[in-house]
Chains A and B, each alone.
Chain A
Amino acid sequence: MKSKWVRNVGLAVMAISLSFGSVSAVSASSKLSGRIVVNGSSALLPLTLQAANEFKKLNPKVKISASAAGSVTGPQAVRKGIADIGACDWDASTAVPGFSAFTGQVANKVAVEPFAAVANSSSGVSDLSTSQLQGIFSGKITNWKDVGGKDQDIVVVNRAFGSGTRVNFQLKALMGTDFMTKGSNYKEVKSSGDMKTAIETTPGAIGYIDLVYVSGSKMQAVKINHIAPTAANVINGSYKVWSYGYYMTKGKPTGAVKAFIDYIQSTKFQEGSLKKLKFIPLSAMK
């Protein structure tokens, strides 16, 4: 009696594992099917989800699951074999400050993400030069009056190390100079949402965020070297603080993964849903 029960459970377990195994083992045939796991950047997640919805309607046999835990987890998950696609805000096949290159991975551009330095509206400053930004974020300039604003202490809000937004802001707005890491007017936040709340509720605060998050009257995007952070300025090349969003894959993408990336790169998606989500299409940067 007992052995029968055990056998039944055993069979069930086997059947379940087989069915899972077979799903991931199937590769592209004439009718596309398979399973795609996406992990990584939270900035790219809305784009991934939107694309996955549309792609699944065209290819009902393809299963796509997407999650986000931060840029660097993308290429890491790909390296460990947990994910097929690692979404990352920088080209992880090359080294950036703090992160070595992920060898053997191919970076597929999927979108353009602009970033902006944002300050609490109380600061009275709307335009900063690169050297002023460097001074503020390294802790050398501590009062807004030193950069033409009100007599108010500057509170620097930073993203935690490993954030894709942080990597890009450091590389392109601060020209690679270091952030301050200590002080009683310095704090770190976990996500873009926390950054927005912190900037909006802290008088004198400055930080940086994806351009799509900038809204409302409590925070303002700061012009960098007299150039406003707008999509138009990114496209005409005058505003430099932006980066491509990448899908990292182990080697060249194949099968369903390739079809999915192709779909995101297609003109239909780039000019349609991607623009609606306030990303900038790849074609605009040529």
Chain B
Amino acid sequence: MMEVPSSGTVYSGEELGRSLEGSSGKVFSRKARLSFYNRTFKIVCIASAVFVCLILFSILFMMGRTGILTFETVSFKTFFFSTDWVPENDQFGAFIFIFGTLALTLLTMIISVPLSVIIAIFLSEMTPSWLKNALRPILDLLVGIPSVVYGFLGMTVLIPMLRSVTGTNMGDGILAAAIVLTIMVLPTISRITDDSIVAVPKKFRDASYALGSTRFQTIVRVVIPAAKSGIMYAVILGMARAIGETMAVVMVIGNTPQLANALFKPTSVLTSNIVMQISNVEFDSTWNYALYMMGFLLLIISLIMIVAVRLIQGRGVKQ
């Protein structure tokens, strides 16, 4: 564009190149060494990525391959639609557990989603910043509590409480499990929702207030719809955690293979049934295969969830 005052600047580029090629007394030139390091680093990165994929696929393959063996002796229809799970007598109907898992997850979401969205709104829109700074780390810490602690509290505190409130004999069942799971997924959902609400641009709120809306109208009509994809993301993550949770559920659900057609009836879900029985079955039996098949089903369900999360994320970026 403009005349360069001296020609020295033109030189410097070449000198830089020369220094790359210049030998520093070693066998390999600097350039060759650099490109070797770069290539090695690239290969290590790619190898790690391939390794992770390999592990995932071999897990999927192993579970699937072992699980499929179930259908040598049990018909597809019986496994998925029969409610008779008496493995001692060769009856392998997993419908109870599939239904239980879905019902438990649904119930958990019904309780936890409204609660956590309200918590998130409170956290992001209504709290003074000193309280925010105190509450957010607390929620983050709650995520890290081991699930067995939640399970034990559920077993020793929640269930006797449910028993005395409702007058049932046991209190174990799908409602107890849903309450425990709700407490477990609450911090996950509310923190991610909180983040996505904070990410809504200030100008949206300003515009809404300028049009004369109240705070409530702004939050419900503007902020939440704008943060919708983030909230969906949070819900699905919470759902994935609820579906896969095992220890806490085992301790409060009662572990009885019967259909969860009442809130206070001891029942069983995929995870709890697997963990109750897997250590006690023989290696090469249909029972073992059926449990693997149930694990495979869980894997498939969580894979679907992850795909859903990616899709929703993708949409969010486009907006």
Contact = CB atoms under 8 A, between A and B. Distances in A.
Interface string B265-277: 1100000000111
A101 interface: no
A235 to B, nearest CB: 30
B265 A184 contact: yes
Given A70-B280, A184-B264, A190 B275 contact: yes
Given A187-B256, A194-B251, A73 B280 contact: yes
A73 B251 contact: no
B86 interface: yes
B281 A162 contact: yes
A155 B156 contact: no
B256 A188 contact: yes
Nearest to B250: A190
Nearest to B157: A201
A8 to B, nearest CB: 16
A161 B87 contact: yes
A271 interface: no
Interface residues of B, number: 32
B88 interface: yes
Given A187-B172, A201-B155, A160 B262 contact: no
Q: What is the interface of chain A mostly: helix, strand, loop, or mixed?
A: loop
Contacts of A71: 280
Contact of A184 (B156, B159, B262, B275): B262
B69 interface: no
B280 A182 contact: no
A194 B155 CA distance: 10
B244 interface: no
Contact of B277 (A160, A194, A203): A160
B255 A182 contact: no
Contacts of B250: 190
Contacts of B280: 70-73, 160-163
Contacts of B156: 197, 201
B72 interface: no
B152 to A, nearest CB: 8
B155 A187 contact: no
Interface in B205-264: 250-251, 254-258, 262, 264
Contact of A153 (B169, B264, B276): B169
A174 B277 CA distance: 22
B180 to A, nearest CB: 15
A96 interface: no
Contacts of B159: 201
Nearest to A2: B40
A69 B277 CA distance: 11
A202 B155 CA distance: 10
A160 B170 contact: no
Nearest to A190: B276
Contact of A76 (B257, B264, B283): B283
Given A160-B280, A182-B257, 4 more contacts: A69-B279, A184-B168, A194-B251, A201-B160
22 contacts: A2-B40, A70-B279, A70-B280, A72-B281, A98-B88, A153-B169, A161-B280, A162-B277, A163-B280, A182-B256, A183-B258, A184-B262, A185-B169, A186-B256, A188-B255, A189-B255, A190-B250, A194-B251, A197-B155, A198-B155, A202-B170, A203-B163
Interface of B: 40, 86-88, 155-156, 159-160, 163, 168-170, 172, 250-251, 254-258, 262, 264-266, 275-277, 279-283
